[in-house]
Amino acid sequence: MPPPPAPESLIPLSPAVFHILLSLADEDRHGYAVIQDVAARTGGEVKLGAGTLYRSIQRMLEQDLIVETESRLAPGTDDERRRYYRITPFGRKVARAEAERLAGLVQLARASGVIPGKA
């Protein structure tokens, strides 16, 4: 097994991957829950398609950003077993690095007066 890469090497993240990481940051979720959560957080702005979601998930699993937890019955559904995903410590680091990158950009934008705020 090669050593895990530096978090910065995966930066910048695609918006879908970043949203999925944010969604999994507070609790383990199954795929549909991630879609719903992302939509709720962004006020319906970001609607992940199922294909986009699972393609991202597949890559994130390979990159060790998330892991699959035991599949279990989803609360509220009857008998469908669902796979749950959990963010890894490495995934958290990557999400943080991406957030810092974005924050840095926002600061730059403020400094140049493109958006209002504390200079």
Partner 1 sequence: MSWYRAWLRLYPLSFRIEYGDEMTAIFAERWRAARGPRERAALWYEALLDIIWSAPAAHADLLKQDVRTSARSLRQSPGFALATILVAALGIGATTVAFGLIDHVLVRPLPFPGSDRLVKLYQDQSFRGYSRIELSPPNFLDWKREARSFERIAAYTTASVNLVGEGEPLRLDGVVATGDLFSVLGVPAALGRALTSMDDAREMPRVMVLSHRLWTTRFGGSPGVLGRTVRLDDEPHTIVGVMPPHFNFPTREAAFWAPKRFTDYDLEDRTNWYLHGVARLKDDVTLAQARAEMSTIAARLAEAYPDANARNGATVIRLRDEVNRQSRLMLWALAGASICMLLIACTNLASLLLSRALDRHRELAVRAALGAGRERLARQMLTENFVLAAAGGLGGILLAVVGMPLVARLVPTSLPIPDAPALDGRLLALAVEVTVATAIVFGVLPALKLAGSASVEGLKAGARAGASRSTERLRSLLVVGQVTASLVLLVSAGLLIQALWRVQGVAPGFEPTGVLTMRTSLPVPKYETTARRQQFYARVLDEVRAMPGVRQAAYISFLPMVMRGGIWPVTVDGQPEDPDNTHTASMRLITPGFFDTLRIPVLVGRDVMDSDTLDAPLVAIVSQSFAERHWPDQDPLGRHLSLARGDLTVVGVVGDVKVRGLEQESEPQVYLSSAQVPDVALPFYAPRDLVIRADVASESLVPAIRSTIARADSEVPVSDVRSLASVVESETAAREVQVRVLAGFAGMALLLAAVGVHGLLAFSVSARVREIGVRLALGATRARILRQVLARGFLLAGIGVVVGTMGATWAAHVLEALLFGVNPGDRQVYAAAAGVCMLMALAGSLLPALRATRVDPLQAIRAE
Q: Which stretch binds partner 1 (CB under 8 A): 18-26, 52-60, 86-94, 103-111?
A: 52-60
Contact 49, 90 (CB under 8 A): no
| C-beta closer to partner 1: residue 32 or 117 | 32
Q: Quick check: 49 binds partner 1 (CB under 8 A)?
A: yes
State the DSSP string of 40-91.
Answer: HHTTTS----HHHHHHHHHHHHHTTSEEE---EEPTTSSS-EE-EEEE-HHH
8: tokens are 């910065």
Taking residues 90 to 119 in sequence order and writing x for each that binds partner 1 by CB under 8 A, - otherwise, the string is ------------------------------
Q: Cα–Cα distance between 66 and 35 in angstroms, integer?
A: 16
79 is a site residue for partner 1 (CB under 8 A): no
CA distance 101 to 107: 10
Contact letters (x/-) for partner 1, 13-42, by CB under 8 A? -----------------xxx--x-------
Q: Which stretch binds partner 1 (CB under 8 A): 20-28, 44-52, 84-92, 97-105?
A: 44-52
d(CA 82, CA 30): 6
- Binding residues for partner 1, rule: CB under 8 A, are 30-32, 35, 47, 49-52, 54-55, 57-59, 62, 80, 82-83
